[in-house]
Structure 1
């Protein structure tokens, strides 16, 4: 229960910061920053939906390892995708790590009933939070955007959730 309250507080702070930035005429953040298996990702706010705490998931047999199953989120049946697994990492998941994880649903406008499992939400980011950027590598997936580097040298991979939601790798959950 405490985990749900922390998420609600986080969402309220995000909404307040966005509203304050709009009111002050400041540049508004473009991304929700998340961490998954030690990797950093930037998810466009316009593609991101609601944030949920970890919930019980019903496994679905004969699916990819990164497709964790389905869950009831606000009365809707939603497919749960482990972002780290989808990106080719195989993190060791424990009950404790899952209890601290969050589920980020896709924006309803993308018309996909899915949510991404992320290890940690790290807040909002705009281009002003980074010192440089690089275009995606030639062999990277179509849903990869630029890679942004912050002042600490951390690399943040931008993911286009609209393209991801239509990508054959994402759509083909059967093993």
Structure 2
């Protein structure tokens, strides 16, 4: 009898928690906000994977200046791209303001490319509710104009900071991104 009573109480508590969860307005994070050369970028959490502190990177001869080299990340060999240099936001070889905050953001394995993007710093997670979509005309005035097909809409947060969305799936198949040899 006590087992039945305990089971009913457990079911009641679970039902109550599920109801409370449905009624609560929760903001789910959709974006990883990063910074490259002072410019705010958004990566979809579905397309970005793990985040790593920079490790030893082996240079690759005859590679584009934005391809830093290859690195061993958790036993996998990853190509490392300096995203700020690739996007033209910084010259190759230029010093970062705070190299200690730099991070490697690996692309999701579903994109079928072992690649990690070197960003200057992580800013945090953002939800769609925290960002306002800006009209296309505003995005055309951004630093990435003319807009490559991997750039998504421009968004603005409550503090007035602009964030450029990047489609990592489109970036991973972009012709220039795949042309790593000089």
Say yes or no: TM over 0.5.
yes
1:106-161, CA deviations, whole angstroms, 9 ceiling, x for partnerless residues?
Answer: 00111100000011111111122124423353830000000001233211000000
**Where in structure 1 do 4 or more consecutive aligned residues deviate above 4 Å?**
21-25
Q: 1:22 to 1:171 in 2, by over 3 A?
A: farther
Query: If you compute each CA radius of gyration, which structure gives the higher value, 1 or 2?
Result: 2
Q: Which residue of 2 aligns with 1:107?
A: 108
- What's the secondary structure of 2:27's corresponding residue? coil
TM superposition score normalised by structure 2: 0.77
Shift of residue 164, structure 1, vs aligned partner: 0.3
TM superposition score normalised by structure 1: 0.80
The 8 Å contact of residues 132 and 149 in structure 1, kept in 2 or not, is answered as yes
The 8 Å contact of residues 101 and 122 in structure 2, kept in 1 or not, is answered as no
- What's the secondary structure of 2:98's corresponding residue? helix
Structure-2 separation of matches of 1:81 and 1:90: 13
Shift of residue 173, structure 1, vs aligned partner: 0.9
Structure-2 separation of matches of 1:41 and 1:84: 10
Structure-2 separation of matches of 1:53 and 1:22: 37
The 8 Å contact of residues 36 and 89 in structure 2, kept in 1 or not, is answered as no
Structure-2 separation of matches of 1:22 and 1:51: 31
1:166 to 2:173 alignment: yes
- What's the secondary structure of 1:166's corresponding residue? coil
Q: Which residue of 1 aligns with 2:62?
A: 62
* Residue correspondences, number: 154
Q: Which residue of 1 aligns with 2:146?
A: 139
Structure-2 separation of matches of 1:84 and 1:24: 39
The 8 Å contact of residues 31 and 126 in structure 1, kept in 2 or not, is answered as yes
Structure 2: which 5+ runs fail to align?
1-20
The 8 Å contact of residues 22 and 28 in structure 1, kept in 2 or not, is answered as no
1:117 to 2:124 alignment: no
Q: Over the residues paired in the alignment, what is the CA RMSD in angstroms?
A: 2.2
Structure 1: which 5+ runs fail to align?
1-20
Moved more, 129-138 or 101-110: 129-138
